[in-house]
């Protein structure tokens, strides 16, 4: 057993781990703060770096607090939080440092703004899917499929915990077989919950391997009689042996399969499958920043548009909006949302951005393209198509700073574009994750 004593945590690294140095080797340690003095046990060691876990805290750094969660830290820790052990101002300091370190040395002339704080530091998440086991449900441990039980999560609304607890009890009473991913047996895989901003509407999603759900009417009656905020209960059927949560088929057990929500004073219909940012307050801050950078009366492509939240949220500044989205339900939601809000200068195409963007750019002369891709970023072919079209401005919103930094290398090659600014937003308090907005302009 390799033990290092008296390791000082010097900084926070991408991924949220504390970083110390020993014998010219970088040591990455989860659940540590800058200034911590710790004894650690090495778990994985390479030539120039290693990963370790804390066996003893000799002293703690600035901003450390009681996390107030029995599932945080330790050997078997919930993977939902990284920094619950430090206060919120310190979390923001860490995020600012990560953004500065990543982008400043690459783009010295770029304006990098201080991170915009989340309006809510707790109970901000409007969506959660919790895996279910024989003994409990919860959140997976970091880098594993070990389910860590919890009684109360600080990131999602308390009512989610109450509903999940009752749902689990009702399913056990109904003798619904719990899914076993080792041998792909059983049925109940996940309990999912989504709510709108004021929590007046809640969706419950039961993800099962089998279409059969015993005593489903009893389960529905038990949930809806206790929680009148539930407007819909969906059984999603995922027969595949995979890590993907949702399957292609579903049954509507009760009510409706969508939520109604508000963003920037617009109404949105959100299908249970559709992407919607988990922190509505932060999303409004992002849209305000985008609106300030967008030229009034622009013709805009909103790529990876989902249900149209960004494009429609900015529609008062846009002359013509063209959205692209690969999830068919989301495209239909986007069209309905445009009609519901009286936005008649928007249209939405169904397809993968990487596959149809080149064709779209031949027929649509855009003043600006908005990119909001998944965590993996934009495929390189789409980036080159954007460059070839000479789009005057790019607004690239990313939930992965590393993917953004990689994609910027393509967009900024040969100095065709200038990186005007990087803005960052705290979409996910208590975690290391950061939402970044890059603003690029075509060089004249």
Distance CA 324, CA 357 (A): 8
Q: Which residues of 259-291 are buried (b: 16+ CB within 10 A; e: fewer)?
A: bebebbebebbbbbbbbbbbbbbbbbbbbebbe
> CA torsion 280→285→288→289, rounded to 10°?
-130
Query: Vertex 285, ends 369 and 128: CA angle to 5°?
Result: 95
Contact 406, 377 (CB under 8 A): yes
Query: Based on the number of CB atoms within 10 Å of its own CB, is 79 exposed (0-12), middle (13-18) or buried (19 or more)?
Result: middle
Contact 259, 194 (CB under 8 A): yes
Contact 436, 98 (CB under 8 A): no
Contact 246, 203 (CB under 8 A): no
Known catalytic membership, residue 399: yes
Residue 428, by phi and psi: left (phi above 0), alpha (psi -120 to 50) or beta?
Answer: beta
Tokens of 223: 């949930």
Tokens 């206790």, residue?
226
Distance CA 348, CA 331 (A): 6
- What are the residues facing 396 on neighbouring strands? 371, 438
Cα distances (Å, whole numbers) of residue 216 to 161, 176, 224: 20, 10, 12
Contact 161, 181 (CB under 8 A): no
Tokens 């710790």, residue?
38
**Among the options 81, 264, 368, 399, which is catalytic?**
399
Contact 102, 94 (CB under 8 A): no
Give the catalytic positions in this structure. Answer: 399
């Amino acid at each position: 057993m390799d033990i290092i004593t008296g390791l000082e945590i010097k900084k926070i690294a991408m991924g949220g781990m504390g970083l110390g140095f020993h014998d010219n080797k970088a040591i990455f340690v989860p659940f540590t703060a800058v200034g911590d003095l710790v004894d650690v046990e090495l778990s994985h060691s390479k030539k120039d770096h290693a990963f370790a876990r804390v066996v003893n805290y000799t002293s703690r750094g600035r901003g450390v607090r009681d996390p107030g969660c029995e599932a945080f830290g330790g050997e078997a820790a919930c993977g939902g939080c990284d920094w619950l052990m430090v206060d919120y101002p310190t979390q923001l300091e860490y995020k600012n440092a990560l953004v500065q370190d990543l982008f400043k040395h690459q783009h010295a002339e770029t304006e990098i703004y201080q991170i915009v704080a989340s309006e809510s530091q707790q109970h901000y998440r409007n969506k959660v899917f919790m895996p279910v086991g024989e003994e409990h449900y919860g959140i997976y441990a970091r880098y594993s499929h070990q389910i860590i039980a919890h009684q109360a999560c600080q990131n999602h609304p308390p009512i989610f915990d109450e509903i999940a607890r009752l749902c689990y009890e009702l399913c056990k009473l109904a003798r619904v077989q719990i899914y076993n991913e080792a041998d792909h047996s059983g049925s109940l895989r996940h309990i999912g919950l989504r709510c709108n901003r004021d929590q007046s509407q809640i969706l419950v999603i039961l993800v099962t391997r089998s279409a059969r759900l015993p005593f489903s009417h009893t389960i529905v009656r038990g949930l809806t009689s206790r929680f009148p905020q539930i407007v819909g209960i969906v059984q999603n059927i995922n027969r595949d042996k995979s890590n993907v949560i949702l399957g292609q088929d579903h049954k509507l057990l009760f009510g409706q399969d969508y939520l109604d929500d508000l963003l920037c004073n617009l109404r949105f219909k959100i299908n249970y499958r559709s992407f919607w940012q988990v922190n509505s307050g932060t999303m409004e801050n992002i849209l305000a920043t985008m609106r300030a950078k967008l030229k009034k009366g622009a013709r805009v492509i909103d790529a990876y548009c989902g249900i149209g939240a960004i494009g429609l949220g900015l529609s008062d500044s846009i002359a013509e909006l063209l959205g692209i989205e690969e999830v068919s339900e989301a495209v239909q939601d986007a069209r309905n949302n445009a009609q519901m809000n009286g936005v008649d200068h928007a249209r939405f195409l169904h397809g993968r951005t990487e596959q149809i963007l080149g064709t779209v750019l031949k027929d649509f002369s855009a003043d600006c393209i908005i990119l909001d891709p998944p965590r993996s970023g934009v495929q390189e072919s789409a980036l080159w198509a954007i460059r070839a079209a000479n789009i005057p401005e790019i607004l690239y919103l990313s939930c992965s700073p590393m993917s953004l930094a990689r994609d910027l290398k393509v967009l900024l090659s040969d100095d065709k574009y200038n990186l005007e600014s990087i803005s960052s937003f705290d979409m996910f308090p208590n975690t290391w994750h950061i939402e970044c907005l890059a603003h690029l302009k075509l060089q004249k």
